[in-house]
């Protein structure tokens, strides 16, 4: 049969990178094992999604799109003690934001509680499950180790009738939490610890965010997951490598029960990203201990945080595409993600001017009361580029770090007697400066060449430096939040005994700048609008940005060749 392929609707120029999962699917379609591909993304609603989840989302939804299949969004909501509806809502928002659509295929493991319970009764009746009275600790002790087999529970050989009665009692809430569990009867001497009579139901006296107080028992992950996949007729169940040793158990349930399909579990390496932690437990800890004020803080590796930071969803999809899918664990450099963000924003953002550390500059030969408008292109990368008008006058502000009184060789920015280009405006030459008692420059004086309007001159003389500026009369103050990594070290896999990632918090992960000045058009930005501040980086209007109290977050620094060259 022919294999239909198409690119995802969002990224028409995306070239799917071949990987072993794709190869398996192509083969399954070619042999006719499957004619329709069904994948799923199964988050537990116990926290916000992070960039690691984005890898899984892009993989699962991406494969479904590429092979004309479907991808289900299924909440794995089997532990009511940690799960909340607000996390369900946040996850839905994040998957949508990332650009994916599950159509009507939104499911909850809790939808299957009744069916899962029926299946458990079947296992008991078949002598394949039993109620065990060992405590959680005792079960752990009996389980053995990687090198030693386990010991059978004294409750393992209860009769079917007794098991049914006790399991009914568990369901009815007759027993306290932890006093009993239902376990699959498999093999206590199996070399695979997961096969040593795993717990499949436990008692929990919690209110569930969907089923309320209906249930006093809740199914465990492995049991729920494999059956949910089978009930939804998932063809390829993709999960991270730590579940490789769970695959025999996943299959065991499928083999014992009359489920409607037999999905194939395939494992891939999880994403680890430098300078950050990824587990929801650790992210929750950062929020709860006040290291960051919220899950969507722009320094968090959560999708909500990255959204506020101004990372475009297309950049995250491209990142997922570039890192690929393999079976080898690795640490991906945060720079790659930033590279993808820069690439995307370079295509899509308007260039504007803001000065982060302003120093006044007077053009002494420019008429005092005169103002003129110069044309500024909005985005040179855009084939349909538009322009806007910028007010120019005698009094400007420029960037303090663009001035040097002792310029090194190769300095092309402001220095006494040197000519530089004011972007979009004129050539100017620095003639003198005011300094305070400590030698700090307090004001610059320059002359301009009226013949160089637009930033170029007919005589073709070379002016290598180009700097940004704002008009003193027109510029507006803005608040700028400069974000950096939350941690000072890239790799937490080698933490020493007793160390915690919290020992490596970056004290400068957020620096707030309140002296910045920007061209007035920036006040009209809407939250989420991104810009390139020329020569400084990409910035996004914060969620709390208003015209009256403008706030911009730095998305990523600029390191394109123009900035590098002109900043030498």
Phi (first) and psi of residue 359, to 5 degrees? -130, 135
Binding of ligand ATP by 331 (CB under 6 A): no
Tell me the closest approach of the beta carbon of residue 556 to ligand ATP, in angstroms.
21
Per the DSSP assignment, residues forming a β-bridge with 106 are: 73
Q: Is 128 a catalytic residue?
A: no
- 280 tagged catalytic: yes
Residue 280 contact among ligand ATP, Mg ion, none, beta carbon within 5 to 8 Å by kind: ligand ATP
Catalytic residue, from 270, 400, 453, 476: name it. 270
DSSP letter for 502, please: G
Closest approach, Cβ 343 to ligand ATP, in A, equals 22
Q: Which of 10, 194, 240, 378 binds ligand ATP (CB under 6 A)?
A: 240
Considering only 22, 37, 43, 120, the residue that binds ligand ATP (CB under 6 A) is 43
Distance (Å, whole) CA 458 – CA 471: 25
Q: Which residue is nearest to ligand ATP (CB)?
A: 52
Residue 193's nearest CA partner among 120, 139, 267, 255 is 139
Is 559 tagged catalytic?
no
Smallest distance from the beta carbon of 228 to ligand ATP, in angstroms? 12
Residue whose entry in the numeric block shows the structure tokens 């990255």: 306
Contacts of residues 484-489 at CB distance under 8 Å and 24 or more positions apart, as own/partner, are 484/299, 484/508, 484/509, 484/510, 484/511, 485/275, 485/276, 485/299, 485/334, 485/509, 486/275, 486/276, 486/286, 486/291, 486/292, 486/299, 486/300, 487/275, 487/276, 487/277, 489/275
Overall size of the chain counted in residues: 568
Binding mask 20-59 for Mg ion (x = CB under 5 A): ------------------------x---------------
Q: Whole-number minimum distance, CB 305 to ligand ATP, in Å?
A: 14
CA distance 398 to 44: 50
Of 53 and 158, which has the nearer Cβ to ligand ATP? 53
Size of the site for ligand ATP (CB under 6 A): 14
Q: Are the C-beta atoms of 454 and 424 separated by less than 8 Å?
A: yes
One DSSP character per residue, 193-233 reads GGGSS-EEEEE----BTTTBTS-SEEE-HHHHHHHHHHHTT
By CB under 6 A, residue 52 contacts ligand ATP: yes
For the CB of residue 71, give the shortest distance to Mg ion in the complex, in Å. Answer: 18
Contacting range for ligand ATP; rule: CB under 6 A; set: 154-162, 273-281, 371-379, 402-410: 273-281
> Which of 22, 55, 180, 264 is in the footprint of ligand ATP by CB under 6 A?
55
Which residues of the chain form contacts with Mg ion (CB under 5 A)?
44
Which residues of the chain form contacts with ligand ATP (CB under 6 A)?
42-44, 52-53, 55-56, 239-240, 270-271, 278-280
């Amino acid at each position: 049969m022919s294999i239909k392929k198409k690119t995802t609707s969002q990224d028409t120029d995306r070239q799917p990178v071949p990987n072993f999962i794709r190869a398996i699917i192509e083969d399954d379609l070619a042999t006719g094992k499957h004619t329709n591909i069904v994948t799923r993304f199964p988050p537990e609603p116990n926290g916000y999604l992070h960039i690691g989840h984005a890898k899984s989302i892009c993989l699962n939804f991406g494969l479904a799109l590429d092979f004309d299949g479907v991808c289900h969004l299924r909440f794995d909501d089997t532990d009511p003690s940690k799960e909340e509806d607000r996390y369900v809502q946040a996850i839905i928002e994040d998957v949508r934001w990332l650009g994916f659509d599950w159509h009507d295929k939104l499911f909850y493991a809790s939808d299957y509680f009744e069916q899962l319970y029926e299946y458990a009764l079947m296992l008991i009746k078949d002598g394949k499950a039993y109620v065990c009275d060992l405590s959680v600790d005792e079960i752990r002790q009996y389980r053995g180790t990687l090198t030693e087999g386990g010991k059978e529970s004294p409750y393992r050989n209860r009769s079917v009738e007794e098991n049914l009665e006790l399991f009914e009692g568990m369901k009815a809430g007759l027993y306290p939490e932890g006093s009993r569990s239902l376990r699959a009867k498999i093999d206590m001497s199996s070399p695979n610890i997961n096969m040593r009579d795993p717990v499949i139901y436990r008692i929990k006296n919690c209110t569930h965010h969907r089923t309320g107080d209906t249930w006093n028992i809740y199914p465990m992950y492995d049991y729920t997951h494999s059956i949910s996949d089978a009930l939804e007729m998932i063809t390829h169940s993709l999960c991270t490598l730590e579940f490789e040793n769970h695959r025999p158990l996943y299959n065991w349930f499928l083999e014992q029960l009359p489920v409607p399909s037999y999905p194939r579990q395939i494992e891939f390496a999880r994403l680890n990203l430098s300078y950050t932690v990824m587990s929801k437990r650790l992210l929750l800890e950062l929020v709860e201990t006040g290291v960051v004020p919220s899950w969507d803080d722009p320094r968090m590796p959560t999708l909500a945080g990255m959204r506020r930071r101004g990372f475009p969803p297309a950049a995250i999809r491209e990142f997922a595409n570039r890192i690929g899918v393999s079976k080898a664990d690795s640490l991906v450099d945060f720079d790659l993600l930033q590279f993808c963000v820069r690439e995307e924003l370079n295509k899509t953002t308007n260039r504007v001017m803001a000065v982060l550390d302003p120093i006044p500059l007077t053009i002494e030969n420019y008429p005092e009361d005169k103002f003129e408008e110069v044309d500024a292109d909005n985005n040179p990368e855009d084939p349909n580029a538009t322009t806007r008008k910028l007010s120019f006058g005698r009094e400007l502000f420029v960037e303090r770090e663009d001035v040097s009184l002792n310029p090194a060789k190769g300095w092309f920015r402001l220095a006494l007697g040197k000519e530089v280009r004011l972007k979009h405006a004129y050539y100017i030459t620095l003639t003198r400066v005011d300094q305070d008692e400590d030698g700090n420059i307090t004001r610059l004086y320059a002359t301009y060449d009226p013949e160089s309007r637009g930033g170029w001159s007919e005589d073709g003389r070379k002016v290598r430096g180009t700097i940004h500026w704002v008009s003193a009369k027109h510029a507006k103050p803005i608040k700028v939040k400069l974000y950096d990594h939350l941690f000072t070290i890239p790799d937490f896999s080698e933490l020493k005994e007793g160390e915690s990632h919290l020992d490596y918090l970056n004290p400068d992960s957020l620096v707030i700048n309140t002296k910045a000045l920007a061209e007035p058009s920036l006040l009209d930005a809407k939250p989420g609008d991104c810009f390139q501040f020329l020569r400084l980086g990409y910035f996004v209007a914060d969620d709390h940005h208003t015209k009256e109290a403008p706030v911009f977050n730095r998305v990523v620094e600029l390191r394109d060749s123009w900035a590098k060259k002109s900043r030498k």
